[in-house]
A and B are shown apart, each in its own frame.
Chain A
Amino acid sequence: MTQHSTPEDVKQLVLIRMETLSSHKKISIGSYGEFSKEEIIQHIKDDDEIGKKMIQVEMEFLRALKKGII
C-alpha cells in the first residue's frame, strides 16, 4: 500500500515536539515493538510506518486541543 509522504513542515514540527521526550524512557507501540526516543526520531525522519504513526498521534493531539481535552 502506497502511503503519501508527510509534508516537511509537519515532520519538522513533530520532530521538535518529540525532542522533549525523556531519553530514560522507552515507548511500546503495539504491533511495532519498543523504541527509544532516538529511534522514534529516526523513524519520523525516515517517514516510515512507525514515523507516520507518531506523526498521527502528535497531530491528532494538537488538533484535539481546540476542542478542549480536559
Chain B
Amino acid sequence: MILYLATRPEHDDTTYYLSHWCKKTFLTAESHGIKVFDLHREKANREEFEGRMNKFSPNFVVLNGHGDVDKVGGHKNEILVSSGVNEDVLKGKIVYAISCKSANILGKTSVEKGALNYTGYDDDFIFFYEPKNMTKPLTDETAKLFLEHSQLFIESLLKGNSLKASKEKAENKLRENINKILSTESSDSELARFLVWDLNHFISHGDLDTSLGV
C-alpha cells in the first residue's frame, strides 16, 4: 500500500492557506487506495514527524510550512527536517516541499542522502490572497492562481504519474494562469510577475522518472 504523509501547520495566514489547499489532495489519495498520515497543526512537530517517518516509512511526503535554504518547519516553525541533521529521514521518499527556499540546499542534500526526489522552491514562494476569504480559503480565487498548481502536482503523483509528467502539469497550470491574467479581460495582470517568479523557482532534484507506482 502506498503511504502519503503531509505536514499541515496552521499558525498564520500562510500556513492556514497551504494547509487547506493540501487537504484537498487527501480525497484523491483515498480514492486511489493510498493511506494518508495527516500531521495537522500541533501534530506537525519534529517528534511526531520523525516518529511516523521511522515507523511507517511513507512513500510520499508533502511538507507545508515555512523554511529556509536548508530546513523546513512545522507548526509554529519548529524545525522538522534540516540539512546535515536529519535529512536521511527522507531516504527513499518522493518529497514535495511548499516551503520557501528549501529546494536550494535541503533538496540537494536530501537526494544525496537517498531521497528519490525532492521538489520545491529554491527561493521564497510568493502568493496573494484575499483576507475576506480567510474563513473559506478554498473559495479564494486569487490564492487559487498561486496554489492550484501545487494541488495538481500532488494529485498527479497520487494518480501514479511520473515526477516529470507531474511537474510539467504543474508548470503548465502556472503558465495557463499567467496567460489568463494577462488577457485583456483580466483585472489581475499585476499578479503576473509573482506567478512568473514562482514558476522560475519551482525546481526538482533527483530522479524525474520516478513515480509512486500506483
Contact = CB atoms under 8 A, between A and B. Distances in A.
B178 A28 contact: no
Nearest to B140: A25
From B101, B182, B190, name the one whose CB has the most chain A CB atoms within 10 angstroms.
B190
B190 A21 contact: yes
Interface residues of B, number: 32
B129 A69 contact: no
Interface in A13-69: 17, 20-22, 24-34, 53, 57-58, 60-61, 64, 69
Interface stretch (B10-18, B34-42, B107-115): B10-18
Contact of B12 (A22, A29, A34): A34
Interface of B: 12-14, 17, 66-68, 100-101, 121, 123-132, 142, 175, 178-179, 182, 190, 192-194, 196-197, 200
Contacts of B68: 31
Nearest to A20: B190
Contacts of A34: 12-14
Contacts of A31: 66-68, 100-101, 124
B131 to A, nearest CB: 6
A70 interface: yes
Given A28-B13, A29-B126, A70-B182, A61 B192 contact: yes
Contacts, number: 76
Contacts of B192: 61, 69
B132 A24 contact: yes
Given A25-B129, A57-B193, A70-B179, A30 B124 contact: yes
Contact of B126 (A20, A21, A22, A27): A27
B119 to A, nearest CB: 16
A61 B182 CA distance: 13
A interface, over-half SS: mixed
**For the side of the interface on A, what is the size category?**
20 to 34
B127 A57 contact: no
B178 A64 contact: no
Given A28-B14, A30-B66, A33-B14, A64 B127 contact: no
A28 B127 contact: yes
Contacts of B193: 57-58, 60-61
B197 A57 contact: yes
Contact of B129 (A17, A28, A33, A57): A28
B193 to A, nearest CB: 4
